[in-house]
Amino acid sequence: MATETLHFLLVPHIGPGHTIPMIDMAKLLAKQPNVMVTIATTPLNAVRYGVTKAELPFRFLELPFPTAEAGLPEGCEMTDKIPSVDLVPNFLAAIDMLQQKLEERFGMLKPRPNCIISDKYMSWTGDFADKHQIPRIMFDGMSCFNELCYNNLYVTKVFDGLPESQPFVVPGLPDKIELTRNQLPPEFNPSSIDTSAFRQRARDAEVKAYGVVINSFEELEQEYVHEYKKLRKGKVWCIGPLSLSLNNDSEKSQRGNVSSINEDQCLKWLDSKKPESVVYSCFGSLVRVNTPQLIELGLALEASNHPFIWVIRSDTREKEVEEWLSESGFEERVKDRGLIIRGWAPQVLILSHPSIGGFLTHCGWNSTLESVCAGIPMITWPQFAEQFINEKLVVQVLGIGVSVGVDSVVHVGEEERFGVKVKREGVQKAIEKVMECGIEGIERRNKAKEIGKMANDAIKEGGSSSLNLRLLIQDILHYAKLQM
């Protein structure tokens, strides 16, 4: 290579929980000397993640999303815009059609990419990378703890034949981690929508990937990083927490979507509260809690007597949720200490405010790691996907969370069927444990702060993640030189 500029092509999965950290990653990579970054995504995603902003350090390559061809409504270009679970198979088919779209535009990519970093669920990028002889690094948006759990479940199938609610130990892990079949991700615990072929392709492409880049930091899960590196012959790079690459409040508040609350209004509300007094409740981008369960959650927040921020995304249930909020008098009763955000919250901005004392979370990995970065203990309420595994890491291994005690997944789109899983008393108890100022509560909080400091140190010059980023670039540079 004449200039020795390395060109990374990033292909995120088009769901917010996957694209958001990849955009952060793109910014981080593009800051490195002699590195350029292109993100291949659909036009509406490009708009959502900033194509209109002049100052972006990377460029977008737009891949038209074949909505009509796949039988999807116009504008359905991201997982949080799929109007009904029945359309999930169509959405997955459309994702696979993106291979052809990239193929048609590949010649436009100058210089030729030296490396593809693509999401696990964009499995077609595996064949694409093979065809063009470009190393493909997988990004799954999860921790090494999780990757190792998944792998060991895939390999051993230890849960096969067990009753759904019987606990079993995940084999081959440094800690004794118990799960039930009911708590497993869809790969091992499918919903009524059959996505098994799509997931199997993702697994096949994962196994043959050149390496894996992880949004985590080594100090968080040292033994798991070690074991996972052994499994992947060393080619694992923990370069996170990626959310810490955001530079200022404005970047934090604009991350992932247009915020439903004005940044100043939000900060003013938080400034008016005592340090570490506020409970922040948000279930990520995809969870849609059914109305009776949502009411239990609201009443628990009210009964806990702490100030709170409650992010509500009710979509099709909006009318009945709004009726309950007003007709039951809830919103009026809590107006002095509860801030309800309908829609998208500036989560990283909120979590980094000193008034936040606890995060009631669904345990999506991004949210979990964002809480870790802010040094905030968690009230854990996993819903689906890998979230029960994340809960184990937070509560059992790290000791920085308290579970509300939910015992099985609620599959996306099937919320009504699952009714109320946790009563208000259970939620309230977990909130109180996390927020209390007794010895246990203080120890948990101090541990969260200690780990938060490690997270912030990891990305600094000389920190483990900053070093890993350099090692990743050197590896790809070396690979590129060998190909010359």
Tokens, residue 445: 């909080």
Report in angstroms how near the CB of residue 260 gets to ligand UDP at its nearest.
Answer: 8
**Interface mask (CB under 6 A) for ligand UDP, residues 344-383, using x and -?**
xx-xx---------------xxxx--x-------------
Does 434 contact ligand UDP by CB under 6 A?
no
Instruction: Name which of 98 and 372 has its Cβ closer to ligand UDP.
Output: 372
Rounded Cα–Cα distance for residues 119 and 344 (Å): 23
Q: Min. distance of Cβ 17 from ligand UDP in angstroms? A: 2
**Cβ neighbourhood burial of 107 (10 Å; 0-12, 13-18, 19+):** exposed
- CA–CA distances in Å: residue 476 to residues 127, 218, 285, 461: 19, 21, 33, 21
Q: In 240-322, which ranges are E strands?
A: 278-282, 308-312
* CB neighbour burial string for 245-255, b if at least 16 within 10 angstroms, e if fewer: bbeebeebbbb
Place of tokens 């609350």: 261
Number of residues that bind ligand UDP (CB under 6 A): 19
- Tell me which residue has its CB nearest to ligand UDP: 17
By CB neighbour count within 10 A (0-12 exposed, 13-18 middle, 19+ buried), where does 308 fall?
Answer: buried
Q: Give 142 or 422: the residue with its C-beta nearer to ligand UDP.
A: 142
Selected binder of ligand UDP within 118, 143, 285, 380 (CB under 6 A): 285
Beta carbon nearer to ligand UDP, 255 or 433: 255
Q: Tell the smallest beta-carbon distance from residue 91 to ligand UDP (Å).
A: 15
Residue 170's closest CA among 190, 191, 156? 156
Q: Output the smallest distance, CB 6 to ligand UDP, in A.
A: 27
The nearer residue to ligand UDP, 146 or 408, going by C-beta atoms, is 146
Q: Give the nearest distance from C-beta 64 to ligand UDP in angstroms.
A: 24
Residues 327-346 that bind ligand UDP (CB under 6 A): 344-345
What binding mask, one character per residue, do residues 82-121 give for ligand UDP by CB under 6 A, x or -?
A: ----------------------------------------
Cα separation of 444 and 447, whole Å? Answer: 5
Pairing of β 168-169 and β 178-179: antiparallel
- Cβ distance to ligand UDP smaller for residue 370 or 432: 370
Report the residue from 8, 10, 17, 374 that binds ligand UDP according to the rule CB under 6 A. Answer: 17
Nearer to ligand UDP by Cβ, of 159 and 365: the residue is 365
Roughly how many angstroms between the first and final C-alpha of the chain, as a whole number?
Answer: 7
Considering beta carbons, is residue 286 or 480 the nearer one to ligand UDP?
A: 286
**Counting contacts by CB under 6 A, is residue 20 touching ligand UDP?**
yes
Q: Which of residues 238-267 bind ligand UDP (CB under 6 A)?
A: 255-256
Nearer residue to ligand UDP within complex by CB, 129 or 286: 286
Amino acid identity for residue 188 in this structure: F
| Whether the Cβ atoms of residue 173 and residue 152 lie closer than 8 Å to each other | yes
Q: Which residues pair with 61 in a beta bridge?
A: 40
Q: Minimum CB separation from ligand UDP for residue 104, in Å?
A: 30
* DSSP string for residues in 325-378: HHHTSHHHHTTTTEEEEES---HHHHHTSTTEEEEEE---HHHHHHHHHHT--E
Query: Could you give the angle at the alpha carbon of 170 between the alpha carbons of 165 and 171, nearest 5°?
Result: 140
Among 88, 134, 261, 282, the residue binding ligand UDP under the rule CB under 6 A is 282
Query: Rule CB under 6 A: which residues touch ligand UDP?
Result: 16-17, 20, 255-256, 282, 284-286, 311, 344-345, 347-348, 364-367, 370
